Amino acid sequence: MNRVYIKTYGCQMNERDSEAVAALLRARGYRIVQDEDACDVMLMNTCSVRDMAEQKAIGKAGYVAQKKKRNPRFILGILGCMAQNRGATLLDALPDVDLIVGTQKFHQVPDYLDNLRAAQEAGTVLPTRIVDIAEETGSQNTIRDHVLEEKQVSAFVSIQQGCNMDCAFCIVPKTRGDERSRPMDEIVRECEQLADRGVKEITLLGQIVTSYGRRDYAHTDGVTPFVQLLERVNAIPGVRRIRFTSPHPRGFKDDLIQAYGRLEKLCEYVHLPMQSGSDRILKAMNRPYSRDRYRQIVDDLRRVRPDMYFSTDIIVGFPGETEGEFAQTRDLFAACDFDMAYVFKYSIRTGTPAADMGDQIPDEVKEARNETLLKILEANSNRRNATLLGTTQEVLVEGPDKKGIGFMGRTRGNRIVHFAASERLIGELVPVKINRVSTAVLYGELQLAGVGV
């Protein structure tokens, strides 16, 4: 009766939150299972950033709730952003849900499950439900426990929760609350412990990591608290690679650009959300930078690291976006030569300023703009991968690939590489010569003298 299946929607922060919940549940004697059909409790950790993400989760929850007809003791919980966004009103559409837990209360999930179980044991007849979407001071410090697979190479570390930027399209400030940073010492200790457990690559997570600690720590010699944190993680011997997501162009100052020149573990891959290449749309989005400033950051980074890889987020079809304004996005998008991009069709989020802006863009237009950018991206990606043919890349070996025919790892630029290797190389940084490429992945051969596969 204690088998828990956790289904996660959305971003890496959600993945990280699910992992922390799983660790807490394990410590409480629950079993985390990977088989949805063999669980007694299903927890859905949800996303609200676009309407489709919410609809998907609601559809799934409605379907899963039918299990309760066969097994009245089955427990269904909805956690995270959609729980926070919709609260108890979710019960109108999903009356069979037992547990609704918001983004500041993940750590309460074990207690709540225990309580639901106890009510069942006591033979409570009426449906017992728990809804908790309250704010909690210090809740950013509760996402700290990890469930590591055997030989896990890479881990996420949450450094901050919430966001105060109020981008006009974005529901995150509502679902995740005010921006709150974790203490730097605690983050560093968590990274050290992960390194002790064999983790080699750390990805620092937050909605706006460039603002990390701005209210809690002073700048030292022009160095922001975020870069101070990078320096400290860089100094941990067992950590071999550092990544982070997501920075905001506004906070991407010179100290961070210079950090790419001096912190050897900081990978030359940056996810820098652009959203739009039109100054008017950026202003309407409440994104405080210009297209020129965005371009400048990209150019400056390439000056420091000529082999820098870039990824971005773009929204097409923001209210009022004209053909001319989209063309500006398209041109800047092409000029920045992104290696990876997430292109989103604008989705109305009730309660955000953009929802009431009028002049909504028809779906077909959004679709066409989406296609245009994806074509550019594909061409860029092919071009970049072709330049890697014949080169030798440093690859962090993660484990067997999904096809089971070999192993996979990533380059510092976050490209996935498939190659023949052996178990004992998992967690090692190895040179791999690239001998075949596709749009999405690279194939190669280990270049270790004397190391047989």
Binding interface with ligand F3S (CB under 6 A): 163, 165-167, 170, 172-173, 207-208, 248
What residues numbered 29-88 form the site for ligand SAH, per CB under 6 A? 49-50
Closest CA to 82 of 7, 137, 144, 142: 7
Smallest separation (angstroms) from ligand F3S to the CB of 10: 12
Which residues are 436's β-sheet partners?
443
Asked if 344 touches ligand SAH (CB under 6 A), the answer is yes
Retrieve residue 160's tokens.
């901050």
Distance CA 394, CA 242 (A): 14
Per DSSP, the three-state class of 27 is: helix
Asked if 315 touches ligand SAH (CB under 6 A), the answer is yes
Nearest to ligand SAH of 54, 98 (CB atom) = 54
Distance CA 204, CA 383 (A): 29
Report helix, strand and coil shares of the chain as percent, to nearest 5: 40, 20, 40
Q: Which does 50 bind (CB under 5 to 8 A by kind): ligand SAH, ligand F3S, none?
A: ligand SAH
Asked if 279 touches ligand SAH (CB under 6 A), the answer is no
- Letter for the amino acid at 17? D
Q: By CB under 6 A, name the one of 177, 273, 409, 444 that touches ligand SAH.
A: 273
Site string for ligand SAH, 111-130 (x = CB under 6 A): --------------------
Q: By CB under 6 A, name the one of 255, 279, 313, 331 that touches ligand SAH.
A: 313
Q: Which does 49 bind (CB under 5 to 8 A by kind): ligand F3S, ligand SAH, none?
A: ligand SAH
Burial class for 29, CB neighbours closer than 10 Å (0-12, 13-18, 19+):
exposed
Alpha helices in 247-349 (DSSP H): 254-262, 279-284, 291-304, 323-336
Interface stretch with ligand SAH, choices 167-175, 216-224, 356-364, 414-422 (CB under 6 A): 167-175
Q: Which does 173 bind (CB under 5 to 8 A by kind): ligand SAH, ligand F3S, none?
A: ligand F3S
Distance CA 171, CA 173 (A): 6
Q: Which long-range contacts (CB under 8 A, 24 or more apart) does 302-307 make?
A: 304/257, 304/258, 304/260, 304/261, 305/260, 305/261, 305/268, 307/268, 307/413
Smallest separation (angstroms) from ligand SAH to the CB of 45: 15
Asked if 169 touches ligand SAH (CB under 6 A), the answer is yes
Nearest to ligand F3S of 142, 207 (CB atom) = 207
Which residues are 397's β-sheet partners?
409
Nearest to ligand SAH of 40, 179 (CB atom) = 179
Which residues are 441's β-sheet partners?
416
- Letter for the amino acid at 52? M
Smallest separation (angstroms) from ligand F3S to the CB of 245: 11
* DSSP at 148: P
Smallest separation (angstroms) from ligand SAH to the CB of 27: 28
φ/ψ of residue 265, rounded to 5: -90, -15
Smallest separation (angstroms) from ligand SAH to the CB of 366: 9
Nearest to ligand SAH of 243, 418 (CB atom) = 243
Smallest separation (angstroms) from ligand F3S to the CB of 49: 8
Distance CA 352, CA 167 (A): 9
Asked if 275 touches ligand SAH (CB under 6 A), the answer is yes
Q: By CB under 6 A, name the one of 45, 276, 347, 393 that touches ligand SAH.
A: 347
Nearest to ligand SAH of 62, 353 (CB atom) = 353
Nearest to ligand SAH of 164, 438 (CB atom) = 164
Distance CA 374, CA 359 (A): 24
CA distances from 417 to 111, 128, 197, 267, 381 (A): 42, 49, 24, 16, 14
Backbone Cα Rg of the chain: 23
Distance CA 400, CA 423 (A): 8
Q: By CB under 6 A, name the one of 246, 311, 380, 385 that touches ligand SAH.
A: 246
Nearest to ligand F3S of 167, 229 (CB atom) = 167
Q: Which does 349 bind (CB under 5 to 8 A by kind): ligand F3S, ligand SAH, none?
A: ligand SAH
Smallest separation (angstroms) from ligand SAH to the CB of 346: 5
Nearest to ligand F3S of 61, 281 (CB atom) = 281
Residues that bind ligand SAH (CB under 6 A): 49-50, 169-170, 172, 207-208, 245-246, 273, 275, 313, 315, 344, 346-347, 349
